[in-house]
Amino acid sequence: MTTLLALLPLLIVIGLLASGRASALVAGLAGLSATLAASVTLLTDAGRGGEIGVLFVRETSAGLWLSWHVIAIIASGMFFHRCLQARGAAANGAALPANPRRLWSVCFLLAPFAEAVTGFGIGYILALVALRRLGLGGLPALVLGLYSQSLVPWGALAIGTTVGAALAGLTPNQLGLGSAVLQVPIHVFYLVLYWRFARDAGVAVPLFQKVDDALWTALLLALVWLFNFYSDVEIAGAAATAVLLALRFWRDERPDGARLAATLRAQAPYVALTLALCATRLVPPLRDVLKPLWAIRPFDNQPAFAPLYAPSFWLVSIGLVVVVLARAPLGRVLGETARAAWRSCFVTLLFVVMAEFYVGTGMAQAIAEALRATAGRDAVAAVPLFAGVGGFLTGGAAAANAMLMPMVTALARAVAVDPAWIAAVQNSVCANLTMLSPIRVSMGAALLALATSDAELYRRAWPLALPALSTGVGAILILLA
């Protein structure tokens, strides 16, 4: 009975999302309500009814604080994006002929960079715009655009990884490093699929270019790992892609002074943001001053919030400069931001608070113990499936980690399997599977004005689920060996 009650909120959420008739907001409200009811019932049955009030205040406060870190990124990222739209700096520019070098840069660098900086599918929008500039459209463009989500563990300045680490009892860098290792086999499979999708789009990739693609992909993954190791997880995706974007632009386009200046002017907000984030994390004097300055940390097991060090501060600050220079109405930008961001913010809050109650009431541990009793150590083999379903249904790593990370790490501890690697599998698989979520696919279809059915879209795109799922299963088999 205890296990069934503990599972019920998760089953309700998964059932509602899988039905296609309920939004993530409705599912989150239903899941949190069911979690609160299950918590009260379990505590009362255990003779701990007197703890309900204290537990409610403690777990709600902890959930609100942890969700604030996500909400700050969502809101400031949306604000930054709307500021760029108001400036008109993201103009499409002149069309360019499609070639394998440009296509790889769009799929593996440009779009993942935009996703790493702002998140929430904005990289996908930029990818589709860039692909149309290359003369690509229809289903091939939709599928290739999904590569914008290939580095989602570091999307939205790695906020999903930060939340997952807090719920797993790890530092963000620990989870980032584990996820970076898993990205190696994932990207090997991504690259093989990319060459096939490029050919289907009419862009043949010769053998020499495949070798070039492989070398640059290896360099990208090495830089992601190095930034996770030597700096903060927040900038690992953005900094690695930004560095390689600059190098590729110089190598492939050979710009003269005028074109280089024009490109820098057009991309000035992104350049400024990248430089600010890298400086505050890689320059010791600046980092050592800003990181503890006015830092707030009400919970020992959760990250601190330092206002002048937080990525949201730089997103908002640079966005404000953009609005002022563009002489755009700030009120309109703020209104557009609120309308675009409120739903994601509220959904995140619901799932994170739900996760805190799962940990605080022992429900995650109860599920883990039941799985251990049923399947022993082999129970962890289900983690990639849980993670994939979570990422696919929620469309966001933060929400999926909030929903599942407490359960899978509790299971890992119950069966004596390294919880850090289980957390990395959960984080990587759920994050990478967000690319196939109905939210992303329907967004792409709408932007490209495709009349194709969802079934046809998924028939073309479904192989993109294999890299993350097969890597997750392989990692679990190694852990169980």
**How confident is residue 447, by pLDDT bands cut at 50, 70 and 90?**
low
**pLDDT at residue 402 greater than cutoff 80:** yes
3-state secondary structure labels for all residues of 217-277: HHHHHHHHHHHHHHCCHHHHHHHHHHHHHHHHHHHHHCCCHHHHHHHHHHCHHHHHHHHHH
What is the average per-residue pLDDT within 330-334? 94
* Dihedral of the alpha carbons of 398, 401, 406, 411, in degrees to the nearest 10: -170
Return d(Cα 371, Cα 408) in angstroms, integer. 10
Average pLDDT of 387-403?
85
Say what percent of the chain tops pLDDT 90.
53
pLDDT at position 436 over 60 = yes
- What are the residue ranges spanned by the domains of the chain? 2-480
Confidence of residue 264 (pLDDT cuts 50, 70, 90): confident
Per-residue pLDDT band for 90 (boundaries 50, 70, 90) equals very low
Is the model's pLDDT at 247 over the cut of 90?
yes
Beta pairing partners, 305: 296
**Residue 51 gets which letter from DSSP?**
G
Instruction: Kindly report the average pLDDT of the chain as a whole number.
Output: 89
pLDDT score of 431 more than 90: yes
pLDDT of residue 91: 43
Q: Which residues contact 354 (CB under 8 A, 6 or more apart)?
A: 9, 28, 31, 32, 35, 63, 402, 403
Lowest-confidence range among 3-12, 160-169, 411-420, 454-463?
A: 454-463
- The answer to which of 53-62, 369-378, 434-443 has the lowest mean pLDDT is 434-443
pLDDT at 472 over 90: yes
Please give the Cα distance from 284 to 282 (Å, whole number).
Answer: 6
pLDDT digits (tens, 9 = 90+) for 352-361: 898 889 888 8
Question: How many angstroms separate the CA atoms of 384 and 397, rounded?
Answer: 14
- Determine the Cα–Cα distance for residues 370 and 373; give it in Å rounded to an integer: 5
- Residue (of 211, 81, 94) closest to 156 by Cα position: 81
pLDDT surpassing 50 at residue 92: no
Q: What is the mean pLDDT of residues 447-458?
A: 71
367 and 6 Cβ atoms separated by less than 8 Å:
yes
Instruction: Please state the φ and ψ torsions of residue 435, each to the nearest 5 degrees.
Output: -60, -25
Q: Predicted confidence band at 172 (pLDDT cuts at 50, 70, 90)? A: very high
Tokens 């057009």, residue located = 266
- Tally the residues of the chain: 481
C-alpha 146/C-alpha 106 separation (Å) is 11
Q: What is the pLDDT of residue 88?
A: 75
Q: What is the DSSP string of 275-318?
A: HHHHHHHHSHHHHHHHTTTT-B-SSTTS--B-TTTSHHHHHHHH
Contact indicator for 472, 388 with CB cutoff of 8 Å: yes
Give the residue, 132 or 412, on which the prediction is more confident: 412
Mean pLDDT to the nearest integer, 300-308: 85
Q: State the pLDDT at residue 454.
A: 65
pLDDT of 89 over the 50 cut: no
pLDDT at 338: 92
β-strand partners of 296: 305
Of 126, 130, 101, 100, nearest to 113 by C-alpha is 126
Which one, of 69, 59, 51, lies nearest residue 32 by Cα?
Answer: 59
CA 355 – CA 163 distance, rounded (Å): 10
Q: How confident is the model at residue 235 (pLDDT cuts 50, 70, 90)?
A: very high
Summarised one tens digit per residue, pLDDT across range 119-145 is 767 788 888 888 988 889 888 999 999
Evaluate whether 138 touches 450 at the Cβ level (below 8 Å). yes
pLDDT at 316 over 70: yes
Q: What is the 3-state secondary structure (H, E, C) of 110-179?
A: HHHHHHHHCCCCHHHHHHHHHHHHCCCCHHHHHHHHHHHHCCHHHCCCCHHHHHHHHHHCCCHHHHHHHH
Q: How many CB atoms lie within 10 A of CB 276?
A: 18
Q: What is the pLDDT of residue 39?
A: 92
